[in-house]
Amino acid sequence: MVQITKKYINNFVEFFKRHVSRSHPDFPFYLLIFFALVVFVIGTNLFVELTEEVQGETIDAFDTRVTDYVTSFRTPALNNFFQFVTDLGDVYAYIVATTLAAIFFFFKLKNKKFILQLLGVLILSALANMALKEAFDRARPTIEHMVVVKTLSYPSGHAMSAMAFYGFLIYLVFHIKMSKWLRIFLTLLFSALIFFIGLSRIYLGVHFPSDVVGGFTAGLIWIAFCVVLFNIIDLLRQRKMRYNKMEEEENLETD
pLDDT of residue 184: 94
Task: Decide: 122 and 164 in contact? Cβ < 8 Å.
Answer: yes
Look at residue 22 and tell me whether its pLDDT is greater than 60.
no
Look at residue 127 and tell me whether its pLDDT is greater than 90.
no
pLDDT of residue 202: 95
Look at residue 34 and tell me whether its pLDDT is greater than 80.
no
Largest Cα–Cα distance of the chain, in whole Å?
Answer: 80
Q: Look at 54-68, 85-99, 179-193 and tell me which has the smallest mean pLDDT.
A: 54-68
Q: What's the chain's average pLDDT? A: 81
pLDDT of residue 152: 81
Comparison of pLDDT for 47 and 255, the residue scoring more: 47
Q: What is the pLDDT of residues 194-241, one digit of tens each?
A: 999 999 999 999 999 999 998 998 898 888 888 877 877 777 777 677
Q: Please choose, from the candidates 164, 224, 173, 171, the residue with its C-alpha nearest in 3D space to the C-alpha of residue 194.
A: 164
Residues near 2 by beta carbon (within 8 Å), at least 6 away in sequence: 45
Distances (CA, A) of 163 to 121, 122, 125, 139, 216: 10, 10, 10, 22, 6
What distance in Å separates the CA atoms of residue 161 and residue 15, rounded to the nearest whole number?
A: 33
Comparison of pLDDT for 214 and 37, the residue scoring more: 214
Give the pLDDT band (50/70/90) at residue 1: very low
Look at residue 96 and tell me whether its pLDDT is greater than 80.
yes
Comparison of pLDDT for 50 and 179, the residue scoring more: 179
pLDDT of residue 24: 59
pLDDT of residue 4: 46
Amino acid identity, position 140: R
